[in-house]
Structure 1
Amino acid sequence: METMTFVDPSYLYIFITKKILREKLQQAATMSSVILAILLFLSGILFWRVRLTHLRHKNLPPGPTPLPIIGSLHLLGNLPHRDLHKLSQKYGPIMSIRLGSIQFVIVSSPEAAKLFLGTHDVVFASRPNIQATKYFAYSGKGLTFTEYGSYWRSVRKFCTLELLSAKKINSFAGIRREEIRLMLEEIRVASMGHKVVNLSETVGALIEGMTCRMIFGKKNDDKFLFKSVMDESMEAIGIFNLADYVPMLAPFDLQGLTKRFKSLSKELDEILETLINEHEEHILIKSQSPEEMDFIDILLSLKNRYSNTHDDLSFTIDRSGMKCILVDLIAGSIDTVKTSVEWILAALIKHPRVMKKLQQELKVVIGDKHVVEETDLTNLSYLQMVVKETLRLYPIAPLLVPHQSMEDIVINGYNIPKNTRLLVNYWAFGRDSKVWSENWEEFLPERFLDTEVDFRGHDYQLIQFGIGRRGCPGMNLGLLNTGLVVSNMVHFFDWELPSRMSPSDLDMKEKFGLTTPRAKPLLANPIYHY
């Protein structure tokens, strides 16, 4: 009779566990070897391509020596505009830098910007193809990120004449007045209750309300969750995307951004599709004159061709193109103005002397009127100086929107190859002592007294809205909204920091993204004047 042998269960568990771990370690080792081999292979290809580029295009502008694969990405931190400014102080206002496998030229002075965006504007009039463009700009069918060409020219002409003309902007004056009155009343109630106001949220809600009524014909409907989707999309686009600098890594989606882009763009597309469908149904029920149309109505009219001014675009634009234009308008109208107003209010609170001087101007020009009107803005010269000085020191988009060269070109003796990406470090402009003297760090609106320096950028010192062919066509609307909001908030209220904080202690740090807002929300106590 055979003797039965019983195996200790704990021994069996240890045995099986060891076997599984050994297999997993072997698999991990194999996977690591594969990944290492892929990286070595890719780095070899990249090094070979960089070497060929270097040999083919000698005499690039000066700049840091790139490393294999990453180039000079290791030199950039969370605030790349500051890091690039430091590098430009070493290498000059026209600097060459390779980020990943992409060749960039960084321009850091008004004089250099004039060469690239003035003298040779047509060469640098295109945009690079980045991953976010595929998902949020419908592969470049709008205005901001679209490649230079006949389609882009048609879109720009249409937006300038039909959506952003002085006549169309003026037609929405009642909407702006109504929304500002509502905001002022909310702040007045908060002041009566001695409540702290989150100015970042208050301004954001105001600008969103005005913009949605202009574009959609109504305020944001909460059931669409439009604001949260749009905010999250803008945040995602502003994240450093490794795939844009090392394209060979894009299929691996190492940061999970591709998955996130797909999800957010799908949500955004569904919202826009619903809004367009609503407008199409409304058009079938009721005809409208051009004066009664919101932006979606005007876009849809392209297909109905109420005017033959835009025949070329009416034949080429499709549903995706319409939605892309809407995304450009929304992003350009809400995020930039909100950020501008937030910085201006923060600068005024931090500098009580400037605040008092602006309030005195408002008292003289506006008097006891219940609201600052749009027609009053041209008489508020000190307000205009405050806006210029704030955006000099705290630009909305410190690196502007990138450009891309369409052909090989020689500038200042340097060879700039075709498809080189151009970044204009506008943040560095405001810190140039040759332009603003040694007191450039001081917040001094009076520096613009008796000067013709303005945002149209003829002197290239203030090009916050870009310049040349790719200059922002919505600049006038942006400046109008900014001046209107700031003047009303400052005219009717004094602002004190909470917890008896001194104005000099107000944190003015920024965070980098598609735009560059304050790192912390702006909180203040309103004190009603009247």
Structure 2
Amino acid sequence: MALYTTPLWLLLLLFLPLVILAKKIRANRRNKQLPPGPPKLPIIGNLHQIGILTHQSLWQLSKKYGPVMLLQLGGVPTLIVSSAEAAREVLKIHDVDCCSRPPLAGTGKLSYNYLDIAFTPYGEYWRQMRKICVLELFSAKRVQSFQFIREEEVSLMVRWIAQLSSSGSPVDLNEKMLFLTANITCRTSFGKSFRGSGFDSDRFQEMITEAMALLACRYASNFFPSAGWIIDGLTGLHGRLERSFREFDDFYQKVIDDHLESGGMKQDQEDIIDVLLRIERDETEVGTAKLTRDHIKAILMNVFLAGVDTSAITIEWAMTELARNPRVMQKAQDEVRNYVGKKGLVSESDLDQLHFLKMVVKETFRLHPPGVLLIPRETMSNFKLNGYDIYPKTRVHVNVWAIGRDPNIWKDPEEFFPERFIDSSIDFKGQHFELLPFGAGRRVCPAISTGVLMVELALANLLCYFDWKLPDGMKEEDIDVEEAAGQTIRKKFSLKLVPIIHQ
């Protein structure tokens, strides 16, 4: 019996679409103008070229490959932006093309913690949640209503440091600033101070420390979305994350229950939980979904962790640079003391007149932005950036730390020189891409005013009330500025200075 054979013309007909498709793929690859980047290895891509301090590794690579650079971090194509011009393209011109968020590692049973304003993918839910944050939680009126809390807590901090000054021992400013910002954030968010939270204070401190440590971790699932969760489970990271958020969940539930039992505050005295519970009670719709308790807890998590860490880090870096530069320290102290006179503590109404202090804060944000890489974005469509093709599902990092040290923008960029902002229009509110500590565009931080007020008020009072001396045997050049790895970049070793009450 003869074997059946397929006619040649039929084989050609079957393979013709495949040939055409292969030619199109090759043509597309030839036509792609991808951003430059270093050679990559199989599977891991460029991960082996990223050190402990990611922002510094990316900065060094950008010096060779340019301010728009494409890396392959595991299975994720990642665009690194390291210049003000490119940041403007990404955050303003193409804001809508790349304002979504990539899925984050660790999502599990308590995954609501990633559904908040910072991490939600772009869409109707995000737009409505941001509207709530901007109009209700961080409006100018709401921020002003918390002024007495900020001033009370700063006054308590000053008295506390004054008591310690009698011993002549150094004060750990990292510890003191974290305690200050935690108290302010707790009172504005929950109506209770950190020390009166209802939880064991030592355990609460451990919860915060663990949460900050987890934010600093590198999750395999961030680089290998399809299988990295297995590695995170084996290393114990996933379990730690679940335990941490379960503890915070218990805490948030307790303070919510306390608010419900008390009946809430009058509208002009509301804290953030009161506001969110009122929105829930009034059945305000968030897009097509009603605001739920999980959404409320998500917002609280974002507000609490972001509010405590970033402001404390900025104050410590500012005091570090002032201690290393006695001329600048003296100039800032003279300004504050001459304006305030004998009245004692600085109030928020004084801050607008302290122009040099504001330059000190700007210069601190330039050299030491708390979030050195803005929270990553994810592209949603094709667009051109500096002539290069950018494709959907590309992760985008803006290296604001590198931009702050760009010699094309800043003269003597490594020098702490607040006077560079005299007669300069550059600000940090998202309109000037040379200085982006709070981001820009649709994803700009909605709590800029709150964060800056905390920093300026605390710093002004530290400078007004105390003279600061280095511990015995230490010189200005001995103060280290080494950074610790993390989501936010703090000093590796806490700043310790000796406070002397100014007479």
| Same fold? TM cut 0.5 | yes
- 1:514 maps to what in 2? 487
Cα distance, 1:90 vs structure 2: 0.5
Cα distance, 1:212 vs structure 2: 0.5
Cα distance, 1:311 vs structure 2: 4.0
Question: What SS does structure 2 have at the residue aligned with 1:465?
Answer: coil
Contact 2:430 2:444 in 1 (8 A): no
Question: Distance in 2 between the 1:292 and 1:132 partners?
Answer: 36
| Structure 1 unaligned residues grouped into runs of 5+ | 1-50
- 2:141 maps to what in 1? 167
Q: Which moved further from structure 2: 200-209 or 215-224?
A: 215-224
When residues 99 and 78 of structure 1 are mapped into structure 2, their CA distance, relative to the original with a 3 A threshold, is: same
Cα distance, 1:499 vs structure 2: 2.3
Question: Distance in 2 between the 1:313 and 1:492 partners?
Answer: 49
Cα distance, 1:510 vs structure 2: 0.7
1:334 to 308, 311, 316: 308
Q: Which moved further from structure 2: 477-486 or 127-136?
A: 127-136
Aligned residue type for 1:521: S
- 1:294 maps to what in 2? 271
1:467 to 440, 458, 461: 440
Contact 1:137 1:324 in 2 (8 A): no
Contact 1:303 1:314 in 2 (8 A): no
1:494 to 467, 470, 476: 467
Question: Distance in 2 between the 1:165 and 1:53 partners?
Answer: 52
Cα distance, 1:459 vs structure 2: 2.6
When residues 364 and 280 of structure 1 are mapped into structure 2, their CA distance, relative to the original with a 3 A threshold, is: same
Q: In the TM superposition, what whole-angstrom CA distance separates every residue of 1:439-492 from its partner, at most 9, and x where no partner exists? A: 111111110000110012323011100001000000011000000000000111
Aligned residue type for 2:175: E
Question: Distance in 1 between the 2:301 and 2:470 partners?
Answer: 35
Cα distance, 1:368 vs structure 2: 1.3
Contact 1:140 1:147 in 2 (8 A): no
- 1:41 maps to what in 2? none
Question: Distance in 1 between the 2:326 and 2:109 partners?
Answer: 45
Question: Distance in 2 between the 1:133 and 1:512 partners?
Answer: 22
Contact 1:69 1:246 in 2 (8 A): no
Question: Distance in 1 between the 2:326 and 2:288 partners?
Answer: 52
2:223 matched to 1:245? yes
Contact 1:211 1:333 in 2 (8 A): yes
Contact 2:97 2:379 in 1 (8 A): yes
Cα distance, 1:508 vs structure 2: 0.6
Cα distance, 1:213 vs structure 2: 0.7
Question: What SS does structure 1 have at the residue aligned with 2:114?
Answer: coil
| Structure 2 unaligned residues grouped into runs of 5+ | 1-24
- 2:212 maps to what in 1? 234
Question: What SS does structure 2 have at the residue aligned with 1:513?
Answer: coil
Question: Distance in 2 between the 1:176 and 1:110 partners?
Answer: 34
- 1:19 maps to what in 2? none
- 1:265 maps to what in 2? 245
2:459 matched to 1:481? no
Q: Which moved further from structure 2: 168-177 or 77-86?
A: 168-177
Question: Distance in 1 between the 2:316 and 2:272 partners?
Answer: 26
Question: What SS does structure 2 have at the residue aligned with 1:525?
Answer: strand
Cα distance, 1:137 vs structure 2: 5.7
When residues 436 and 133 of structure 1 are mapped into structure 2, their CA distance, relative to the original with a 3 A threshold, is: farther
Aligned residue type for 1:249: G
When residues 417 and 454 of structure 1 are mapped into structure 2, their CA distance, relative to the original with a 3 A threshold, is: same
- 2:17 maps to what in 1? none
Aligned residue type for 2:216: G
Question: What SS does structure 1 have at the residue aligned with 2:485?
Answer: coil
**Greater gyration radius:** 1
Q: In the TM superposition, what whole-angstrom CA distance separates every residue of 1:63-115 from its partner, at most 9, and x where no partner exists? A: 01221111100001111101100100101000000000100000000000011
Contact 1:197 1:524 in 2 (8 A): yes
Aligned residue type for 1:244: N
Question: What SS does structure 1 have at the residue aligned with 2:96?
Answer: coil
Question: Distance in 1 between the 2:71 and 2:436 partners?
Answer: 23
Question: What SS does structure 2 have at the residue aligned with 1:123?
Answer: helix
- 1:110 maps to what in 2? 84
Cα distance, 1:515 vs structure 2: 0.5
Q: In the TM superposition, what whole-angstrom CA distance separates every residue of 1:255-308 from its partner, at most 9, and x where no partner exists? A: 32111111111111111111111111111xxx5321121111111111222xx9
RMSD between superposed Cα atoms in Å: 2.0
Matched ranges for 1:360-379 at <5 A? 360-379=334-353
Cα distance, 1:426 vs structure 2: 0.6
Matched ranges for 1:281-320 at <5 A? 281-283=261-263, 288-305=265-282, 310-312=284-286, 315-320=289-294
Question: Distance in 1 between the 2:303 and 2:353 partners?
Answer: 28
Aligned residue type for 1:126: S
Cα distance, 1:139 vs structure 2: 6.0
Cα distance, 1:524 vs structure 2: 0.8
Matched ranges for 1:352-367 at <5 A? 352-367=326-341
- 1:70 maps to what in 2? 44
Q: Which moved further from structure 2: 206-215 or 237-246?
A: 237-246
When residues 346 and 499 of structure 1 are mapped into structure 2, their CA distance, relative to the original with a 3 A threshold, is: same
- 1:42 maps to what in 2? none
Question: Distance in 1 between the 2:130 and 2:386 partners?
Answer: 31
Question: Distance in 1 between the 2:443 and 2:362 partners?
Answer: 21
- 1:384 maps to what in 2? 358
TM-score (normalizing by structure 2): 0.90
Matched ranges for 1:403-482 at <5 A? 403-437=377-411, 439-482=412-455
Contact 1:362 1:491 in 2 (8 A): yes
Cα distance, 1:369 vs structure 2: 1.5
Contact 1:207 1:338 in 2 (8 A): yes
Cα distance, 1:56 vs structure 2: 9.1
Aligned residue type for 1:301: R
